[in-house]
Structure 1
Amino acid sequence: MIYKFRVILDAEEDIFRDIAIDENDTLEDFHNAIFNAFGFDGMEVASFYTCDETWNQEDEISLFDTGDVPGEQKIMSDYTLSALLDEENTKIIYVYDFIQMWTFLVELAAIEEPQAGETYPTLLFSHGEMPDEAGDKNFEADNADDIYGDYEDDYDEDDLDMLDGEDNFEDYGFEENWN
């Protein structure tokens, strides 16, 4: 079967690509199709993230195993598309270049029979021009009330002094000169 995806750049303007790819291709194959469809050079690190129906990020599946224990981390070449996505699980997030943070919302739009004579993956449709830089990501709240809520009025510097002026580290389960 052929999976048809809409890959949408997380930006203010509508920029997306429709890609058809075989369900037995790996996430690494899909990664290659995405960076080619958007005109990237493929020289940057990328990851897919599983997510729920409202795009809340869950598990990372990276391009390379960067974990402390070899083989312990999930990597793209280990997963076929059909192992992660189906008619009920249609969404996944793709991040390319962790400096620029190009973020894409990827949704499975259709599952169809392959077309005779067609090679996959293939770019079906392209809409919008890629900007020179990824949009700014705002990881901060708009104002202090969003962060602190009602606690800001109760702020007292003495609350932050764990030791109350004493160097008694034994109470905290570690020694002062641990290194």
Structure 2
Amino acid sequence: MIYRFRVILDNDTEDDVFRDLEIRETDTMEDLHNIITQSFGFDGMEMASFYVSDEEWNQGEEISMFGLGEGTDTTRLMNETKINDIVHEAQTKLIYVYDFLNMWTFFVELAEIVDEAKGADYPNLMFVHGQLPEQAPEKLFESDDPEGFDDMDEDMDIDTYDELGFDENWN
């Protein structure tokens, strides 16, 4: 089967930027990463990760390019994970982050599952809409919003260590 995805740049501009692409369900997440980077004109040399997402686009389990932990790292790797192990009719949304320095963030959604067309090459870039801006759109994080972030609980008395609930001789 062929999965058709719409990959949308997460930006707050008036212009939508997205790509529609097709890929075999049995290809790897690394193959999906490669067609996304190529379709948006990236060189593919930066770190990237997919994140399983729910219906509200909340970030879940990571599928990484490389294992960064030692020994007991349970992070799935793109080159070892087939697309249909992550994405299917009941789980259609992913978040894709490319270049952790610039945080290019994309919403990836399974739009359709179709039969493979005879003679077609996959992966296949089907449709291009909009141009990628020169810089990644800025993200507003909770800590960037002075109204929505309280870095210090005003009711907490830091001079009263007994109320903090830990043993001061723990070490």
**Which segments of 5 or more consecutive residues in structure 1 lack a partner in the other structure?**
165-169
Q: How far does the alpha carbon of each residue in 1:99-138 deviate from its partner, in whole angstroms, 9 at most, with x for none?
A: 0000000000000011111110010000000111101111
- Matched to 2:21, the amino acid is I
C-alpha distance in structure 1 between counterparts of 2:132 and 2:158, whole Å: 47
**TM-score between both structures, scaled by the size of structure 1:** 0.84
Q: Percent identity?
A: 48
C-alpha distance in structure 2 between counterparts of 1:141 and 1:49, whole Å: 23
**TM-score between both structures, scaled by the size of structure 2:** 0.88
C-alpha distance in structure 2 between counterparts of 1:71 and 1:78, whole Å: 14
**Which segments of 5 or more consecutive residues in structure 2 lack a partner in the other structure?**
none
**Which segments of structure 1 move beyond 4 Å, counting only runs of 4 or more?**
none
Q: Which residue of 2 aligns with 1:160?
A: 158
C-alpha distance in structure 1 between counterparts of 2:121 and 2:73, whole Å: 32
Q: Which residue of 2 aligns with 1:136?
A: 138
Q: How far does the alpha carbon of each residue in 1:131-152 deviate from its partner, in whole angstroms, 9 at most, with x for none?
A: 11101111135333x224xx97
Q: Does 1:54 align with 2:52?
A: no
**Which structure has the larger Rg?**
1
C-alpha distance in structure 2 between counterparts of 1:54 and 1:109, whole Å: 16
- Matched to 1:160, the amino acid is I
Q: Which residue of 2 aligns with 1:30?
A: 32
SS at match of 2:76: coil
C-alpha distance in structure 2 between counterparts of 1:70 and 1:77, whole Å: 18
Matched residues, number: 165
More helix by share: 1
C-alpha distance in structure 1 between counterparts of 2:118 and 2:167, whole Å: 72
SS at match of 1:126: strand
